[in-house]
């Protein structure tokens, strides 16, 4: 799709299929350094974190279980898995991005295989820098 994101804040818009999209806080981790750090050393997250590009993750040295959604290049969810600390997730063949959130959050948001999400950056969402 040719997008170029930068590390920082944004919004995740989940198209739940009922005509009422859900908007959530999003952290973008697109640089090598930001992707490598991810959620390491944190006890919680407000919203979700998008790692891009990424096709798999691990939870070594994590303090909390997380939900992981694998997204294709069109931001459609391929699979969602809950991972406990100290695990290595299998890379997904078609995955181009990975979305992480606290365990159990994605089910509540309606994020499941086949659902499409949208990313709004700081500029698009009108967020302060």
In 3D space, the residue among 50, 94, 59 whose CA is nearest the CA of residue 74 turns out to be 94
Tens digit of each residue's pLDDT (9 = 90 or more) over 31-76: 999 999 999 889 999 999 999 999 999 999 899 999 999 999 999 9
- Residues 3-40 have pLDDT tens digits of 689 999 999 999 877 788 999 999 999 999 999 999 98
User: CB within 8 A of 100, min separation 6: which ones?
Assistant: 38, 39, 45, 48, 49, 50, 51, 57, 66, 67, 68, 69
Distance CA 22, CA 13 (A): 6
For residues 77-105, one letter each, b for 16 or more C-beta atoms within 10 angstroms of the residue's C-beta and e for the rest, the string is bbebeebeeebebeebeebbbbbbbbeeb
Give the model's confidence band at 78: pLDDT under 50 very low, under 70 low, under 90 confident, else very high.
very high
Instruction: Please confirm whether the linkage preceding 56 is cis (ω < 30° from 0).
Output: no
């Amino acid at each position: 799709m040719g997008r170029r994101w930068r590390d920082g804040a944004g919004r995740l818009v989940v198209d739940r299929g009922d005509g009422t999209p859900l908007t959530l806080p999003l952290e973008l981790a697109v640089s090598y350094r930001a992707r490598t750090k991810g959620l390491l050393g944190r006890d919680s997250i407000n919203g979700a974190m998008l790692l891009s590009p990424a096709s798999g993750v691990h939870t070594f040295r994590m303090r909390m279980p997380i939900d992981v959604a694998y997204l294709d290049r069109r931001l459609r969810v391929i699979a969602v898995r809950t991972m406990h600390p100290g695990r290595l997730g299998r890379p997904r063949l078609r995955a181009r991005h990975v979305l992480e959130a606290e365990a159990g959050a994605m089910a509540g948001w309606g994020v499941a295989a086949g659902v499409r999400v949208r990313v709004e950056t700081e500029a698009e969402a009108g967020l302060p820098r």
